């Protein structure tokens, strides 16, 4: 059992601890990070005015805020159309980012 356990643990650690930065072919480090530039995939229950899923409802508030719903958005989400639920309070293009 111990002969196979060590390689399996090594494989799991390799997958889990893969680097956040990798060298490009020209030797410059390329950092892997999540950006909000590309719209996230949305379901039919998500409002198309936002990148990420903001539910379609009579009123939507930011989760964890003082709003009373009935629906809540987990942020941050990027406003890519009209901010119909007024989730981007500071007008910087990101909603529910506080």
**Is-above-0.85 flag for pTM?**
no
List, as one string, the DSSP characters of 32-43. ----SSSPPP--
17 in a structural domain = yes
Q: Mean of the pLDDT values across residues 75-84?
A: 96
pLDDT of residue 98: 79
User: Does any domain span residue 22?
Assistant: yes
Domain count, the chain: 1
| pLDDT at res. 34 | 47
Please name every residue paired with 62 in a beta bridge, in sequence order, or none if there are none: 73
- What's the pLDDT tens digit per position in 2-38? 566 556 665 565 555 555 555 555 655 555 554 555 4
- Residue 95 is assigned to a structural domain of this protein: no
Q: Do 91 and 83 meet the contact criterion of CB atoms below 8 Å apart? A: no
The predicted-structure confidence for 37-49, as pLDDT tens digits, reads as follows: 544 555 689 999 9
In a domain, 82, yes or no: no
Residue 75 inside a domain? The answer is no
In this structure, what token pair is assigned to residue 10? Answer: 């090594």
- Per-residue confidence band for 83, with pLDDT thresholds at 50, 70 and 90: very high
Q: 77 pairs with which residues across the strands?
A: 95
**Do 26 and 15 form a contact (C-beta atoms < 8 A)?**
no
- Within-domain flag for 15: yes
Q: Which domain holds residue 23?
A: 2-31
């Amino acid at each position: 059992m111990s002969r196979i356990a060590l390689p399996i643990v090594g494989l799991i650690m390799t997958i889990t601890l893969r680097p956040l930065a990798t060298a490009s072919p020209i030797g410059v480090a390329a950092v892997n990070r999540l950006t909000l530039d590309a719209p996230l995939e949305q379901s039919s229950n998500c409002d198309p005015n936002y990148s990420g899923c903001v539910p379609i409802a009579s009123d939507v508030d930011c989760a964890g805020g003082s709003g009373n719903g009935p629906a809540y958005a987990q942020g941050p989400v990027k406003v890519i159309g009209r901010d119909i639920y007024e989730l981007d309070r500071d007008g910087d293009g990101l909603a529910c980012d506080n």
